[in-house]
Amino acid sequence: MSFIPNKIFNPTGDDSVQSRTIIKGNTTGLFNLNNTKYTRAKSMYTVMIWNFRVPEKVSGLNEDSIQYKQELTDGEKRAYDGILSFLIFLDSIQTVNLPNFADYITAPEVQLLMSIQAYQEAIHSQSYATILESIVDANKRDEIYYFRRENSILLERNTYIGKIYEDFIENPNDENFFRGLIGNFLLEGLYFYNGFAFFDTLADHQKMKATDRMISYIRRDELTHVTMFTNILREIKKEFPAMWNEKLIYDMFTIAVEQEIKRTEHILGDNVIGINKNTTEKYTKRLANNRLWLLGLDPLYPEVTESPYQHLERLQDTNGEKTNFFESTVINYSQSNGMKWSREF
């Protein structure tokens, strides 16, 4: 079944709370945010707005620049550059693609969250640019930006997610939309986190701590995005059960986990203390199990139950927020009255 994007002007539409649905509603084009069906979206809006920050204000990047040049091993530098290249691609593709999905969301309160997310993804791109400008020599920056295109393993990884998005743009039907949402969920909930773990591990060894602070801001945003897409998918399961395809979910998770393990091992190798093939595999599979749990599904890897990276649990974000990296739950947001994420809107 084909999708029809929202009309900008539709006088005959009906987006009353009684008629409103997460997708396929008859929108009016009016952004009525006083009458909402998905009331928890208001709480998410508050948290996402409070998460605003300016990447140029992160201090300590000059010290990171000295460490990068004088203290990091060649293997750590290669990992630093390669992970930045992949993260830059992920946030870039999200910034560009999110409006394509938002055009088909018919609840204005949820459209609002997607608009904020697109803005946050753009801030992430500026964050990476600030890191590169502060730490990496100018003649090396383009090499990092385009490493993900020239490296065959990174190119394979990027092609997979890019094609999922392109398929929906070219043929916006039920199957491609649902597949695109799962791709988005995997990107936000799985693809970033081995990279984040690398920077956290460096910081735990007193290296590149300012970079890790910047990454902690980005991770904080990504966890809200995981929650938002969890909620969207759960509402689709409730309102449009015919679109829900568990086999597709498990198939995509299996591919994503295999590719993520392969990519991380290729970039990191055995060059970082505390990270190796075994920990990468356990960490990725543990994350996959958790993300499936968020969707109300059984684990893909039931034998994996423990985190291999205990140090991640003790690291604090820069403003006193402690995040459970596996459960995607905000334990304490000082600026949002201790709100905890719900699994549904």
How many angstroms separate the CA atoms of 107 and 16, rounded?
A: 10
* Cβ 100 vs Cβ 168: under 8 Å: yes
Neighbours of 1 (CB within 10 A): 9
Catalytic residue among 128, 165, 301, 309: 128
The crossing angle, in degrees rounded to 10, of helices 193-204 and 277-294 is 130
Nearest C-alpha neighbor of 178 from the set 133, 242, 126: 242
Q: What is the secondary structure of 33-70 as a DSSP string?
A: -SS-SSTHHHHHHHHHHHT---GGG---HHHHHHHHHH
* Cβ 234 vs Cβ 295: under 8 Å: yes
Nearest C-alpha neighbor of 228 from the set 290, 162, 294: 294
Is 128 catalytic? The answer is yes
Buried b / exposed e over 60-81, threshold 16 CB at 10 Å, is: bbeebbebbeeebeeebebbbb
Half-sphere exposure of 68 (CA within 13 A, CB side): 23
Hey, which residues are catalytic here? 128
